[in-house]
Amino acid sequence: MSMARLAITKGIAKDVTYRKEAEDELFKQKEVLQKIVDHIPVMINFTDGEGRLKLVNQEWQKTLGWSLDDCEVRILTYLPNVIRILSIVRKY
């Protein structure tokens, strides 16, 4: 007669289906928003709370010829001129 071995396993199971579905939906919404932002024929940029550029769309890059990385350097150099030009344009 052989002795049977008893193994005890403890654990916690959690259903993460709802969370996974919510993450998938958020990802889909983000993709749609990114397509809209990239293809709208208007220059768009997003900044953080401190005014640093976080995203520029394709129209921004096409019009200015600057990628997001380029903007980090150039925006500080050109911003005073852009503000001056905008103030002149607004007068007319």
Please give the average per-residue pLDDT across 17-36, as a whole number: 93
Rounded Cα distance between 23 and 31, Å, is 12
Q: Does 74 map to a domain? A: yes
Higher pLDDT, 59 or 77: 59
Helices first, then strands: H and E counts in the chain: 3, 2
Q: What percent of the chain is modeled with pLDDT above 70?
A: 73
pLDDT tens across 30-51, in order?
Answer: 999 888 888 889 888 887 777 7
Mean pLDDT for the chain?
78
Q: Does 21 map to a domain? A: yes
Q: Does 7 map to a domain? A: no
DSSP string, 41-73: SS--EEE-TTS-EEEE-HHHHHHH---HHHHHH
What's the pLDDT band for 23 if we cut at 50, 70, 90?
A: very high
Please give the average per-residue pLDDT across 65-77, as a whole number: 69
Q: 3-state DSSP helix/strand/coil percent for the chain, to nearest 5? A: 60, 10, 35
Structural domain harbouring 47? 17-91
